[in-house]
């Protein structure tokens, strides 16, 4: 085994580019250990290979070259450990973000595939729903839907919500009596939060968990059959909480979107 290796040989043996080795040299991270006094050619010693390998695996952890330079030059394991612990915590934080992103993607897949559009719109069914968290704005009788959208967009942009994550499902609190008269009367317009927020409770609302009586319809077209509701509640107390939850079936025309009507029993 020879002791000295050219830059090209070193690069080839260690699976690294000559440009990278020259950059290590330029920033003072690792320079060739020997210069031929006659030719001026520069060579790496074999025992420098483990330094290059260490630089590579530390870079693989996402560690900046400035930090690696401090570690390599110190020559001490105790200077390496704090950086490794820091990168471990950063990786854990990044993993949490990736898991949250996967959860969000799964949520949206369920959202776009939840409703069976071929189901009879007059069919009533019950669903057990967990506690949900929303921010909301009031609706005013007879106003344009665009006004509600703008009002909610302004609410979402408040500093109180800057660190919160929303899920793009919109809904309305609607009047149950109007629903039985085949009238869409929104009282509040809201959007989901991904999770229970750690902010003052006055800035959000909890939709209670429980059993909800449901049916589906294009509610903005007011085309449902109110008789199924009046018959169901004929001898029962009419609930106060009813929601119209939007489920988009296209990415262009929201006014024709399907909704699941959820009435808390």
pLDDT digits (tens, 9 = 90+) for 3-14: 999 999 999 999
Domains of the chain: 4-76 (1.10.1660.10), 118-264 (3.20.80.10)
- pLDDT of 173 higher than 90: yes
CA-to-CA distance for 42 and 258, rounded, in angstroms? 72
Give the count of beta carbons closer than 10 Å to the beta carbon of residue 124: 14
Mind listing the pLDDT tens digit for each residue in 103-130?
999 999 999 888 765 555 668 999 999 9
- Retrieve residue 264's tokens: 């808390």
pTM equals 0.75
Give how far the C-alpha of residue 18 lies from the chain's centroid of Cα atoms, to the nearest Å: 40
Mind listing the pLDDT tens digit for each residue in 50-69?
999 999 999 999 999 999 99
């Amino acid at each position: 085994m020879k002791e000295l290796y050219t830059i090209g040989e070193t690069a080839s043996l260690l699976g690294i580019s000559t440009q990278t080795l020259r950059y290590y040299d330029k920033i003072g991270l690792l320079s060739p250990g020997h210069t031929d006094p006659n030719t001026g050619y520069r060579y790496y010693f074999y025992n420098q290979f483990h330094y290059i390998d260490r630089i590579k695996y530390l870079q693989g952890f996402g560690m900046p070259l400035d930090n690696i330079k401090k570690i390599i030059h110190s020559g001490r394991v105790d200077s390496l450990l704090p950086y490794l612990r820091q990168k471990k915590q950063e990786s854990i934080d990044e993993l949490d973000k990736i898991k949250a992103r996967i959860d969000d993607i799964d949520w949206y897949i369920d959202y776009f595939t939840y409703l069976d559009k071929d189901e009879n719109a007059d069919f009533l069914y019950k669903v057990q729903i967990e506690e949900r968290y929303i921010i909301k704005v009031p609706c005013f009788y007879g106003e344009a839907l665009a006004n509600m959208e703008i009002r909610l967009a302004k609410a979402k942009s408040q500093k109180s919500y800057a660190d919160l994550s929303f899920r793009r499902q919109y809904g309305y609190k609607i009047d149950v009596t109007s629903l039985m008269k085949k009238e869409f009367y929104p009282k509040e317009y809201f959007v989901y939060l991904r999770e229970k927020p750690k902010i003052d409770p006055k800035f959000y609302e909890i939709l209670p968990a429980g059993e909800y009586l449901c049916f589906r319809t294009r509610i903005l077209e007011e085309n449902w059959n109110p008789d199924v509701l009046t018959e169901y509640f004929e001898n029962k107390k009419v609930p106060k909480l009813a929601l119209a939850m939007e489920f988009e079936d296209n990415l262009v025309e929201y006014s024709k979107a399907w909704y699941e009507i959820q009435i808390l029993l």
